[in-house]
Amino acid sequence: MKLHVKAPAKINLTLDVLHKRSDGYHELEMVMTTVDLADRLELTLLEEDRIIVHSESRFVPSGERNLAYQAADMLKRELNIRKGVEISIEKHIPVAAGLAGGSSDAAAVLRGLNKLWNLRLSLHELAEIGAKIGSDVPFCVYGGTALAKGRGEIITPLPPPPSCWVILAKLPIGVSTAEVYENLSLDKIEHPNTEIMVEAIKNNDYFTMCQNVGNVLENVTLMRYPEVADIKEDMLRFGADAALMSGSGPTVYALARHDSRMHRIYNGLRGFCRQVYAVRILGKGEEWGDS
């Protein structure tokens, strides 16, 4: 028995850090949404008790370091399952980019195995298991658009944001999320207004959404990699309605409402950045396409 699952990338419309917690993690408030740039996973049921993960992409870690492997392993251990799975990952989301590619693969494995192993777990239960793998996994289990709090695992679903183009640009730099958080100083930083962003989404107000994108981790990554800040400026120069870094970076994205503006930004960036994608924000239920 085989199952095909899509694992979409996410972007942060906001990312705010409230304080550092005693467990070493940071208390967050983020508004995230899924976009139609996705990895594709094939899950094949194995009667023998083992997990195999492979990918043609050299950027995908093999074996136990892979979050998709960890997701299957965690489900097996939590529920004492003796079946196995072979997972094949077709990678399209850039790795170590701030787009939650690995977390989305893990979430897709949780959702897929829920069907393949006939587990009948709720999304809430899958997200709880996902939180043990990584902070972004619970959001990826739900998909769509959501407000995430706590370490990232407390999810409140939101309606889809106003429809627009998202032009993603990823420079050939890999950023370590742990290092970015370690180097964040919470003194004198400007915080995004999460509440206004949530209201803008609920009111389908594109202008207010664009005015209120914000990510405090830019304070670390843009300082360290000025070329990422340059791309953001270029996006605005090419006519983006908003431009922001996603997650801990280095991917930056531009928002554009009209096709002509999207083409101008996309073509402008393609002149000097190899990894550029023009994608849409996904509406409710559009993200999975499981078969």
Contacts to ligand C5P by CB under 6 A: 25-26, 28, 134-136, 151-152, 177-178, 181
Q: Per the annotation, does 220 bind a ligand?
A: no
102 labeled binding residue: yes
Interacting residues of 229 by C-beta distance below 8 A, sequence separation 6+: 222
Three-state SS annotation for the chain: CEEEEEEEEEEEEEEEEEEECCCCCEEEEEEEEEEEEEEEEEEEEECCCCEEEEECCCCCCCHHHCHHHHHHHHHHHHHCCCCEEEEEEECCCCCCCCCCHHHHHHHHHHHHHHHHCCCCCCHHHHHHHHHCCCCCHHHHHHCCEEEEEECCCEEEEECCCCCCEEEEEECCCCCCHHHHHHCCCCCCCCCCCHHHHHHHHHCCCHHHHHHCCEECCHHHHHHHCHHHHHHHHHHHHCCCCEEEECCCCCCEEEEECCHHHHHHHHHHHHCCCCEEEEEEECCCCCCCCCC
Please identify the residue of the shown chain whose CB is closest to the bound ligand C5P: 135
Closest residue by Cα to residue 172 from 99, 227, 240: 227
Cβ proximity to ligand C5P, 72 vs 217, nearer residue: 217
200 is in an annotated binding site: no
Q: Residues 6, 10, 170, 232: which is the catalytic one?
A: 10
Q: Which is nearer to ligand C5P, 25 or 225 (CB)?
A: 25
Question: Is 95 labelled as part of a ligand binding site?
Answer: yes
Between 135 and 215, CB nearer to ligand C5P: 135
**Is 18 within any annotated ligand binding site?**
no
Angle between the N-to-C axes of helices 67-79 and 123-131, in degrees from 0 to 180, rounded to the nearest 10: 110
Does the annotation count 73 as an active-site position?
A: no
Q: How far is the CB of 134 from ligand C5P (least distance, A)?
A: 4
Give the shortest CB-101-to-ligand C5P separation in angstroms. Answer: 12
Q: How far is the CB of 27 from ligand C5P (least distance, A)?
A: 7
User: Is 49 known to be catalytic?
Assistant: no
| Residue closer to ligand C5P, measured from CB, 177 or 211 | 177
Residue in 16, 39, 105, 136 annotated catalytic: 136
Q: Which is nearer to ligand C5P, 126 or 231 (CB)?
A: 126
In the complex, the smallest distance separating the C-beta of residue 67 from ligand C5P, rounded to whole angstroms, is: 9
Q: Was 24 annotated as part of a binding site?
A: no
Q: How far is the CB of 23 from ligand C5P (least distance, A)?
A: 9
Residues classed as catalytic: 10, 136
Summarize the annotated binding site for ATP as residue ranges: 94-104
Summarize the annotated binding site as residue ranges: 94-104
